[in-house]
Structure 1
Amino acid sequence: MATEIATEIAATEIAENNPARFPDRHALSNACTAASEMVKRFAERSPVTYSQILERLETSTENRANAVKTYNEYLNQLSSLVAEVDEKTLAKRLREFRLQSHVELACRDIAGQITIQAMLRALSDLATVCLEVTYQYLYRQMCERYGIPMGKNSQTPQHLTVFGMGKLGGGELNFSSDIDLILAYPENGTTTSDENPIDNELFFHRLAQKLIRLLDQYDENGFVYRVDMRLKPFGSVGTLATTFTAMTRYYLQHGRDWERYALVKMRPVAGDIAAGQALISQLSSFVYQRHVDYVAMHSIDDMKSKIIAAAKEKGIKDNLKLGYGGIREIEFIVQTFQMIYGGRMQSLRQQSLLGALQALQDKELLSEKVAAMLRVNYLRLRQIENAIQYYQDQQTHDLPNKTAPRQALLTALGEKDWLRLVEEINRIRYEVFALFQRVFATQDGQAQPIDQEKLTDDYWLDLLYQTDMTQQSAETIAHQFVQFYKRMWQHDLGEKYLIRLNWVLPQIIAALDGEDNPVKIANHMLTLLESIADESVYLSLLVEHPGVLKKIMHLFMHSRWMTEFLCTHPLVIDELIHENHETAPRSAQNIRRELQRAIAQCSDTESTLQKLMDFKNAETFRVASADLQGNIKLLHVSDQLSWIAEAIIDAILTMAIDALVEKYGRPIYVLDGQTKQASFGIIAYGKLGSLEMGYRSDLDLVFLHDSQGEKQMTNGERSIDNAVFFSHVVKKFTDLITTLTPSGQLYPVDTRLRPSGGSGQAVNSVNAFAQYQFHDAWTWEHQALVRARFVAGGQSIADAFADIRQRVLAMPRDSETLRQDVLKMRTKMRDQHRDKTLPDGQANIKQAAGGLTDIEFIVQYLLLKHAVDFPDLVRCSDNVRQIAALELFEILRSADAADLRFAYRAYRFWIHHQQLLGHETVVDTARFAQEMQDVKAIWAQVFETQVETKAETKTEAKIGAKTS
C-alpha cells in the first residue's frame, strides 16, 4: 500500500505543480492572492515589493530549489537592514523581513517552485537568522552598557546559546509555528565594566527578556515569532537563562521522560553554537540510554495515551496535527524509536524527523515500506498544513469548513476537487493511525470482547497444522496455548496486553516451523511471555521485531541458563535486536564508559543500583549469547565478565566513599610533618583476580588502606578515626553490591581470604597486610596471592600492593616444605569436595585428579618455587600467561606447557557451556581421558621427580621442546 501511495503522490513529495498553468505574471498573482489572504494583504500594502517578488519568481531557473534563499543569504540581507538602527527600528524591520520572506515562500509554494523539504528548511533558516541577528544586536548593546560577561573559572568572554526545540530544532518549522526555545550560557562570572558591572546571571537574564520581547511582542507591525519558553528547566517557574552546569544537573537529577523526548529535537540555533553542541553531547546520556529503559517506556505509554485522548476530543477530527493519524503520531513514532535505540546507534541522534526516519530505515528498525509510507504521508500533511497556515498567517492545523478557505486551499495545492483531497487525507491518516496502533498496541477506546475461539484447541491447531511439526507436537502445543491464554485472560491484564499477545502468538507459531523440539521451545516462550505479563511494553519489541523470536528460540533450544536468565530479566530482549551484539567484544575502557553513561542520570542509591543491575544483566547476556553462538573466544568471555565486574566494583566503591565523605569528611593523616589524604583499594582474588570469571562466579575481595602516622582522622565536622571510616566503607560497599534488587543481586562477596580469614579485620592497612604476608601467612595464602590483583581504588594502593605481591611471591622458600604444604592443601580440598554419590566413570572436572584445580596447583607451586630466581614469573595473575611464563623461563617443557594449556582451555570451555546449559560440572571421564592423563603425568613429574640442577632442567626442557 505504501509503495502505491509513494508512486501516486510522487509529485506531491516534491511539491512541484505544473508552472504552465500560470501563463503570465497576472495569472500567477491572481493564484497567489486567491490562495492566501496574507499574500493579498501584503500586495495591497506593499505593491512594489510584491511586484519584485513576482519578478523573482518569473526569472527563477529551471532548478527551482536554487531560487530559495540560503541561511547565509537571509543573514546577510537582514544584517544589512538592521545595521546602525535603534531598537524600535530593529523591531519594525524584523517584522517586515519575516513577513516579506513568508510571502515570497508562500508564492513559490503556490507556483510550484519549492519542494516541501526546502520550504521547511527555509522557514527554519529564516527563524534562526532572526534569532541570531537579534541576539547579536542585543549582546553588543548590553556589552556597551555593562561590559563583556567573563567566565569566573575560564576568564573567557561568555555568550548565550539559543537552543531551538520542536520543529525549529528539527529544521522543519511551519509557517505560523511558535518557536520553542531554551537559553543557556557556559558559566557564571561578572562583566568587565569598571563603572557598571553586573554578574553574568543578571546580564543574560536581561538579554533574554529583551530578546523575547523583540520577537514576541505584538505591535502595529505584528510580531516576528511567538516564543514559548515552557520547555526550559523547571518550566514556567525556572529562570529564563541558566548555566550549562545548572542545566546539566537539572536534567541528570530531575529530568523527566517527557523532557528526554523533547530534547531529541534540541539544536543550538543562535549565539555560541559550538558551546551549545558541547552541552548537547553532555546531555546525550540523559536523552539516549544504551539499554532500553522500560521505566521510561511507561512514560511513553502515558504520552501516547494523551495523544489518543486528545484525538478523541470534540472538534479535533479535522486537525491534521492532533487528530487520528496526524502529524503528531508520525513524530511520536520516530522520536520514540530515537529515544529507545539512540543510545547505541549514533546515526539516530539527529533533530530532523526526515533524517531520523532515513536512519531508522538504514538500521532496519523500520522497513523500507513503512519508512516510505511515513515519509510520503508526513510531507504531504506538512504541505497541506503550511497551505492552511499561510492562508491568513494563523497557527491552525484544521481543515477549513467554509467555502472560501477551502477553495483557497485547493488553489494553493493545485487541486480541483475538495472531496478528492479529503479522501486522500483520510487515506493518509488511516495508514498512519494503523501503524501507530500496531507499534504501540493502542486501543481505539472500544473494548473488544475476547474471541472465545482462542480458548479452544482447534483455533490453535488450525495455525499449527500449517507448519511441518508432527500431529502430536501440534496437539501438545495447542493445549499449552489454550491454558496460557486462559491464565492471561483470568489475570485481567487489560486489552492492551491481549492485543499485543494476539500479534505475538501467531508469530511464535510461524517461528516454530522447522525447529527440532517445538514443544520444549513453545513451553519456554510461554514462560517468557508470562514472566512479562505485568509489563506489556516488553511485548512491543517482539511485535516489531519478529526476527528476534527466532534468536530467542535458538537460545531456548540450547541453553537452560539463558532461558532462565531471559525469563528473569526480560529487559535484555533488547540486546537481541542488534545484529552485531554477539560479535563485538568491548574493551575494559568501553565497558566502564558505557556503565558511567548508564548511571549518569541516576539521582539516588536505589535507582543507581537498579541501573547497575540492568547493566550487568544486559552485558552478561550479550557475552553469553556470543559465547553460545561461537562468536567469541573462551578467554574473551572471561575477560568480558571480569571487566563487567570491575566496572561495577569501581562504581559501587565510588558510591560508598562519596556517601561517607559527605558524612564524615575525607580521611587524613600526618607523616613526617606532612598532611596527606589516605587512600582505599580493593584487591581481587580467585576468578576475578585471575581474569577468569564465569557466569556464576562470586567475588573474592580483600580491602586495604594506606593510612599511617599521626592524626589519622577524617576532616569533616563529624570526624572519626580513619580505621573506623574505612570499616564503614567496607560495610557500605558490601551492603550495596549484595543488595537484592527487583532484578537480582549484583554479586555475592567472599572476604575470607583477608589476613586471618573470617576472624580478621574487615580492612587492613597496607603495612599490616605486608607484615602478615611476610611473617604469618600460610602457603595456601601465598598460592591465592598468585592469582590476586588490584581492581579498584587509589593508585597508591595499586602501587603498594603490586610491590608487596612481587616481594612476597619471590621470597626464598624451602622446596620440600613448599611441596608438602601444597600437596597437603590439595589433598584437603579433594577430600572436602569428594562426591561419593558419583558413579564410576564420572567426576567433577574441577576437583578430579587431572582436573582444573590440579593445573592451577601445578602452576602456583612452580611459581612460588622459582620466582626467587625468576621474579618476572609472577607479573601476571592469570593461569594462561603464567603457564607461558613458566615455559619461557624453561621451568616447564614446551610439550608439558602445551598440554596444560590445552587441557585448561578445554576444561574452562566445557565448564562455561555447562553453566549455560544449567548443568553441574560433572563429566564422563572418558570425555577428557587424554587431558586428565596428561595433567596427572605432569603432576607426578612436578611433585615427585626431583630435578637436581638448573642446567639439567634446561637441558631436559630443550630436549622436550625439540621432541614436541
Structure 2
Amino acid sequence: MTPSEPSQSALHEAVASLPEPLREPVRIALQGLDSETQRSAAEPVLASLPAVWACSNFITRACRRDPKLLEELFESGDLERSYPADGYRTRLHQWTAELSGAAALKAALRRFRCREMVRIAWRDLAGWAELDDTLQGLSALAEACINQALACLHEWLREQWGTPRDAAGEPQQMIVLGMGKLGGRELNFSSDIDLIFCYPEPGHTDGTRPLANEEYFTRLGRQLIAALDEQTPDGQAFRVDMRLRPYGQSGPLVTSFNGMEIYYQTQGREWERYALIKARVVGGDYERGGQLLEELMPFVYRRYLDYGAMESLRAMKALVAREVQRKGLEDNIKLGRGGIREIEFIAQVFQLIRGGQERALRRRGLLAVLDCLAAQGQLPRFAQNELSQAYRFLRRLENRLQMIDDRQTHELPSDALDRLRLAHAMGYPDYATLRRQLDGWRQKVQEHFDQVFVAPQGGSAGDDTEPDALAELWQGTATADEAAERLAAAGFEKPAEAHERLTALHHSHGCRALSAQGRNRLDRLMPMLVRAIGGGRCPDATLPRVLQLLESVAQRTAYLALLNEHPLALSQLVQLCAGSPWIAQQLTRHPILLDELLDPRTLYAPLGRDALQRELTQRLEDVPPTDLEQQMEVLRHCKQTNNLRVAAADLSGAVPLMVVSDYLTDIAEVVLEAVLSLAWRHVSDRYGQPTGRVNGASVQQGLVILAYGKLGSFELGYGSDLDLVFIHEAHGEQQMTDGARPVDNPVFFARLVQRIIHILTTPTPGGVLYAVDTRLRPSGKAGLLTSSLEAFSHYQLHQAWTWEHQALVRSRVVAGSPHLAKAVEAIRRQVLTRRRDSQSLRREVRQMRERMRREKAADQPGVFDLKQDRGGIADIEFMVQYGVLACAAENPALLRYTDNIRLLDELSSCGWISAKQAQVLAEAYRAYRACVHRLALQEQPARTAAETLQTQRDRVAELWLELMGADDENG
C-alpha cells in the first residue's frame, strides 16, 4: 500500500458521509486536486476537506483558483493551530516588508486576507476552533490589515511631505478607531468594517512643502480606505464604512481630538453613544487613541443612572423593525425578531443605563457584559444563560451562512442546496431541523427582549377613562370643579389642595424649562403617579413629598424615564414616601437611590456585613486608585443605598428593632474600614509607611478607630453621628515614615486622621458621609486629633473624669490594626475594672445625669423627651454604666459587651439587679428605641405625648430611685 492510500481512503470515506446532494459538487471539485497537494496534507486535514468544501463555495473556489494556496496551508500546518495574539500582525509584516507602492500593498493585503479567511473558515467548519476563536481571529486579521497598511502608507507619505507635528514640534500619528463588532473583537466572516479616523493636534508637516495636519491625515485616510476597500484584480480586502464619524458622510474624513470632543459634547446623538460602546483603537497611535476614548467616556456613560437610554434604544429598534417589515426581512437573523441585534440591545441598554456607575459594565464583548449583568443581579442567571447560548448559536449560524460564498448576508438561503449546506455546517441532518432549532432560540430571545424593552402601559386593567381624565387634569384642560371631582374619585380627601399643588408643579420654572422629550416623559408619568398616590395610604400627605422629589429631578429626565419604564418602581416610591418623609427626603436629596426601587427582593432585604464588604470593595475597585473624589462618591452611595434598604425593611416590619441598629452599625463599620484604608493609601503614597525601630528591626506602626456612643454600643440610628477617637502606636526609636518625603510618625497620623475626617464629613454632590464628633478624645477639644497608645492610657488612668469612664463602657475598636486593637482593649479593661467607692461613684453619676436633664430635657407639659426626660433612655444608660463601673472589678465578664440590652443581662447575672428589674429596663429601652426609630423615619424629634409610654416611664423612674437614690437638691 502506498503512503497516500490511507489518506485517499479517509478522503473517500469523508465524501461518502456527505448528504447525497452535496457529494457530487465535492467530487467534481476534488478532480482538480493534484496528488502532490494531497500528499502534503496531514490525514485529519485531508479527511476534513470534503465537509469543509461542501459547506463553503468560497473555500472551494479559492483553493481551485490557487492550488498553491491549499498546498501552502497543508504544508505549513496553519490549519491545525491557532495563532498567538500577534500572529496576524507578524505574518502580514513579513508579507509587506519589501513592498514599495500602493498597488503592491493592495495586492499583498488581498492575497493575505484570502489565505487567512480560508484558514479561519476551514478551522471553524472543521470544528477545530471555538466561536470566540473565530470571531477574535477575524477581528485580529482586520486589525492587522488596517494597522500594517496605515504604517506603510504613513511612511510613504512622510517621505513626500514630511512628518506631521503639533505646535510644540511633537510628531503626530493618525488614529483609527474600530467601531461595532470590529471594536468588540466580534467581527463576523464577511462583515464590512466601521472606522473613524482622528489625530491628536493641529499643526503642519515638517517637509519642504508643508501640509496642514488635517490635509495630511485626510490624504492618508483616503489612501487607507483605497488600500482596503478598492476592487482590484485580486478582489477586495475589507469594505470600509465611514458613516459613523462625526457629522457622518457630510463631515470631514479626519477629525482632531479637540474636534471630536466638541462634537460629542454639543451634537452627539443617542445612537452615537450606542456606537461608541465598542469603539477601540485598531491602528496608529494606540496610546493617544486610548486617551481619547477615555476622554469620551462621559459622553457614552452618564454619571447618573440613565434610564432615558431605554427610550432611545426602543426608538432605534422600532426604526429597525419598520425597515425589516418594509423590506420583508423577517428571516434576517441579525435584524429580525429574536435576532442578534435584539441580544445586543439587551446588553447595551444596561451598559448605557448603568455604565456611569458600574465601570465593570464598560466592556466591549457582549458575552462578558451578559455575564457581568447576571453577576450583579441585573439579569436573572437563567436569562443570561439562554441569551448567551442563543447568541453563540446565531453567531455561528451567521458566520457559516456567510462562509458559503464570502458574502455579507443575514438572510436565510432560499436555494435548497445552500439550505442543506447550512444545515450540514451547523451539524443538523436537514434544513427543517435547523430551522426548528433556530426558531426556538429566536423565540427565547424575543421573550427576553420584550421583558426588557416593551413599554409599560399606564392605567389599570379594564379602565380606559381614568388615565385620560387625569391626563386632562394634569394638562390643565379640566375646570377646577372637574379637577376636584376627579381627584376626590382618585382617593384624595383634600382634592382642591391637591389640584393646587399639581398646578404649581405644572407651571413651575423647572417644568417649563424642560426639553420636549423631558416634557413628554413628565406628561406620561403624572397620570400614573397621581393614580398611585390616590390609591395608597395618606395620599394628601404623600403628594407634596413626591412632588418635591419630582421638582428636584425634573431637569434630569432620565429619572422620569425610570419611573415611566418601571411601574413597580413607581409603586415602591409612593409606598415608601407615604410611610416615611425621611425616606422621601433621602430620595429627593439623592435621586440616584431611585434605582433601588426596581427590585423589592433587594430593597427589603438589607445586606449582611460580609455582603456589604464585598459590594463596597467591588465598587471601589472600579474607581482609579488616585481618584479620591470618585471614591468618596462611591462611599456615599453605598451608605445611602444600604441605609435605604434598612429603612424600607424597617418600615415594612420585615426586620425587628435590634436588627435595624445592627444593620446600620454594620454599614458604618464597613464604611469606616474602607475610609481608613483609602486614607492610609493616599497619605502613605506621599510620605511612606510609619515605622519605628525595635531591637534594631524596623516595625510598622498602626492606628485604630475607637467608637463610642451609639456606634460603640451597636445602637446606631438613621441620623446618628459617629463618636470617634483615633489612637496610634508610638513604640520604638526613630519614629519616622520610610517614604521619599519622610515625616515624624505623629505628623503622619495627624494627617491620616485629617484625611479620614475629610472623607467622612466633606459635603460632595452625594452629600456628607457621616457627621463625626471627636470631643471624647483625651482632653476633648483641646487635645490632639490622634493620641498615642501611651498617651491614651495615661489619660484614662490618671486624668479622665468619671463621665469619660462611663463613655468608655460603650466603646470598642471598629477599624484598624488588630494587635493595636488588643492593646486598646487591654487599657479599657484596666480602666473599667478599677475598684471604686460605690457611694462616690453613685453621686458623681447622678450629678452628671441631673445636669444633662436640666440642659437637654423637654421641660414641656404633656411632652416626653424619650432620651433626656426622667424615666427615659439616658436614665437607663446611666444606670447601666454605673452598674458596670461599680461591679466590673469583681465581674470582668461585664466588659464582654457594649450594648445596653446584653449589659442588663450581665448585670442581672452578677447580682447587681434582679432578673425582673433587668427585664423591666430592657423592655422599656426597646420600646423607647423603637419609638425613636419610628419618629426618625417621620423626621420628628425624639419626643412623644407624655401618656404614650407612661407605664414604662414610671417603672424606669422608680428603678432610678431604687438603684441610684434621690437626686441632690442642689443638682
Q: TM-score w.r.t. structure 2 length?
A: 0.64
| Structure 1 residues 787 and 350: alpha-carbon distance in aligned structure 2, compared to 1, 3 A threshold | farther
Indicate conservation of the 8 Å contact 2:278/2:363, yes or no: no
2:344 counterpart (331, 340, 347): 331
**Deviation sequence 1:879-908 (CA, Å, 0-9, x none):** 111112112222221111111111111111
> 1:438-837 counterparts in 2 under 5 A?
438=455, 455-458=475-478, 465=486, 468-469=489-490, 473=494, 476-487=497-508, 491-512=512-533, 514-603=535-624, 604-836=627-859
**Deviation sequence 1:780-799 (CA, Å, 0-9, x none):** 00000001111122223201
> 1:225-374 counterparts in 2 under 5 A?
236=283, 294-295=303-304, 297=306, 327-328=340-341, 330-337=343-350
Aligned partners of 2:126 and 2:623: how far apart in 1? Answer: 49
What is the Cα deviation at residue 593 of structure 1?
2.3
Indicate conservation of the 8 Å contact 2:867/2:874, yes or no: yes
> 1:97-136 counterparts in 2 under 5 A?
98-100=120-122, 124=132
**Deviation sequence 1:496-543 (CA, Å, 0-9, x none):** 222322332232234235324333323322222221112222223212
Aligned partners of 2:915 and 2:591: how far apart in 1? Answer: 47
State the match for 1:176 in structure 2. Answer: 190
Aligned partners of 1:890 and 1:359: how far apart in 2? Answer: 57
Q: Which secondary structure state, in structure 2, belongs to the residue aligned with residue 581 of structure 1?
A: helix
Indicate conservation of the 8 Å contact 1:876/1:882, yes or no: yes
**Deviation sequence 1:423-460 (CA, Å, 0-9, x none):** xx9xx99x98998695999xxxxxxxxx9985314299
**Deviation sequence 1:824-877 (CA, Å, 0-9, x none):** 1001100111333x22x3210111111101110111001000101011111211
Considering only aligned residues, what root-mean-square deviation do their CA atoms show, in Å?
A: 6.0
| Structure 1 residues 529 and 379: alpha-carbon distance in aligned structure 2, compared to 1, 3 A threshold | farther
Q: Note if 1:903 corresponds to 2:913.
A: no
Aligned partners of 1:485 and 1:406: how far apart in 2? Answer: 63
Q: Which secondary structure state, in structure 1, belongs to the residue aligned with residue 600 of structure 2?
A: coil
Indicate conservation of the 8 Å contact 1:454/1:485, yes or no: yes
| Structure 1 residues 767 and 254: alpha-carbon distance in aligned structure 2, compared to 1, 3 A threshold | farther
What is the Cα deviation at residue 575 of structure 1?
1.6
**Which stretch shows the higher mean deviation, 882-891 or 314-323?**
314-323
Q: Aligned letter for 1:676?
A: V
Indicate conservation of the 8 Å contact 2:876/2:921, yes or no: yes
Q: Aligned letter for 1:335?
A: Q
Aligned partners of 1:633 and 1:434: how far apart in 2? Answer: 35
Q: Which secondary structure state, in structure 1, belongs to the residue aligned with residue 948 of structure 2?
A: helix
What is the Cα deviation at residue 610 of structure 1?
1.2
**Deviation sequence 1:372-401 (CA, Å, 0-9, x none):** 99999999997996697456413466999x
Indicate conservation of the 8 Å contact 1:850/1:933, yes or no: yes
What is the Cα deviation at residue 565 of structure 1?
1.1
Q: Aligned letter for 2:766?
A: S
**Deviation sequence 1:773-826 (CA, Å, 0-9, x none):** 111111100000001111122223201110000010000111111011101100
Count residues with an aligned counterpart. 745
State the match for 2:908 in structure 1. Answer: 887
State the match for 1:141 in structure 2. Answer: none
Indicate conservation of the 8 Å contact 1:29/1:54, yes or no: no
Question: Which consecutive unaligned segments of at least 5 residues does structure 2 have?
Answer: 1-17, 35-45, 56-75, 96-110, 141-177, 195-231, 241-275, 424-430, 433-441, 459-470, 967-971
State the match for 2:263 in structure 1. Answer: none
Indicate conservation of the 8 Å contact 2:612/2:667, yes or no: yes
Indicate conservation of the 8 Å contact 1:324/1:433, yes or no: no
What is the Cα deviation at residue 477 of structure 1?
3.9
Aligned partners of 2:944 and 2:342: how far apart in 1? Answer: 57
**Which stretch shows the higher mean deviation, 787-796 or 657-666?**
657-666
State the match for 1:195 in structure 2. Answer: none
Q: Which secondary structure state, in structure 1, belongs to the residue aligned with residue 949 of structure 2?
A: helix
Aligned partners of 1:464 and 1:361: how far apart in 2? Answer: 49
Q: Aligned letter for 2:562?
A: L
What is the Cα deviation at residue 561 of structure 1?
0.7
> 1:182-221 counterparts in 2 under 5 A?
none
Aligned partners of 1:84 and 1:757: how far apart in 2? Answer: 70
Indicate conservation of the 8 Å contact 1:294/1:571, yes or no: no
Q: Note if 1:394 corresponds to 2:407.
A: yes
| Structure 1 residues 41 and 387: alpha-carbon distance in aligned structure 2, compared to 1, 3 A threshold | farther
Q: Which secondary structure state, in structure 2, belongs to the residue aligned with residue 663 of structure 1?
A: helix
Aligned partners of 2:28 and 2:815: how far apart in 1? Answer: 72
Question: Which consecutive unaligned segments of at least 5 residues does structure 1 have?
Answer: 1-23, 34-38, 58-77, 106-118, 133-163, 181-217, 241-249, 262-292, 416-424, 442-450, 946-964
What is the Cα deviation at residue 632 of structure 1?
1.1
Q: Which secondary structure state, in structure 2, belongs to the residue aligned with residue 790 of structure 1?
A: strand
| Structure 1 residues 883 and 529: alpha-carbon distance in aligned structure 2, compared to 1, 3 A threshold | same
Aligned partners of 1:809 and 1:919: how far apart in 2? Answer: 36
What is the Cα deviation at residue 752 of structure 1?
0.9
Q: Which secondary structure state, in structure 1, belongs to the residue aligned with residue 736 of structure 2?
A: strand
Indicate conservation of the 8 Å contact 1:599/1:611, yes or no: yes
| Structure 1 residues 931 and 462: alpha-carbon distance in aligned structure 2, compared to 1, 3 A threshold | closer
What is the Cα deviation at residue 480 of structure 1?
3.6
Q: Which secondary structure state, in structure 2, belongs to the residue aligned with residue 580 of structure 1?
A: helix
> 1:395-410 counterparts in 2 under 5 A?
395=408
| Structure 1 residues 933 and 704: alpha-carbon distance in aligned structure 2, compared to 1, 3 A threshold | same
Aligned partners of 2:848 and 2:599: how far apart in 1? Answer: 48
Q: Aligned letter for 2:615?
A: E
Aligned partners of 1:682 and 1:92: how far apart in 2? Answer: 67
Q: Aligned letter for 1:506?
A: P
Aligned partners of 2:456 and 2:29: how far apart in 1? Answer: 45
Aligned partners of 2:113 and 2:388: how far apart in 1? Answer: 38
| Structure 1 residues 355 and 572: alpha-carbon distance in aligned structure 2, compared to 1, 3 A threshold | closer
Aligned partners of 2:827 and 2:791: how far apart in 1? Answer: 11
State the match for 1:923 in structure 2. Answer: 944
Indicate conservation of the 8 Å contact 2:703/2:727, yes or no: yes
Indicate conservation of the 8 Å contact 1:232/1:238, yes or no: no
Indicate conservation of the 8 Å contact 2:687/2:739, yes or no: yes
Q: Which secondary structure state, in structure 2, belongs to the residue aligned with residue 744 of structure 1?
A: coil
| Structure 1 residues 354 and 636: alpha-carbon distance in aligned structure 2, compared to 1, 3 A threshold | same
**Which stretch shows the higher mean deviation, 83-92 or 556-565?**
83-92
Aligned partners of 1:827 and 1:924: how far apart in 2? Answer: 22
Q: Aligned letter for 1:912?
A: H
| Structure 1 residues 579 and 309: alpha-carbon distance in aligned structure 2, compared to 1, 3 A threshold | closer
